[in-house]
């Protein structure tokens, strides 16, 4: 069990750092002196990112055993 937890922590930290690094890089696209974009395009980007975050977060949800009906 400790090995599985250590693996989760190692990979979780590494992958989270990578996601945060990539988000920071995406922020570089906000520089209007180098890029041209519309509000609609920006909203579409962040809508998709938020959707994927919700989907991924839902995979980590623990089942609520209080509502587990049994006869």
Per residue of the chain (71 residues), give pLDDT as tens: 799 999 999 999 999 999 999 999 999 999 999 999 999 999 999 999 999 999 999 999 877 767 767 78
Half-sphere exposure of 23 (CA within 13 A, CB side): 11
Contact, 13 vs 19, CB < 8 A? no
Concatenating the DSSP letter of every residue in the chain gives -HHHHHHHHHHHHHHHHHHHHHHHHHHGGG-TTT----HHHHHHHHHHHHHHHHHHHHHTPPP-GGG----
pLDDT score at 12: 96
pLDDT score at 71: 82
pLDDT score at 63: 73
């Amino acid at each position: 069990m400790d090995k599985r937890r250590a693996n989760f922590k190692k990979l979780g930290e590494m992958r989270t750092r990578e996601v945060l690094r990539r988000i920071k890089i995406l922020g570089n696209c906000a520089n209007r002196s180098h890029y041209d974009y519309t509000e609609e395009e920006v909203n579409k980007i962040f809508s998709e990112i938020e959707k994927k975050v919700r989907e991924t977060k839902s995979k980590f949800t623990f089942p609520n055993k209080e509502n587990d009906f049994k006869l």
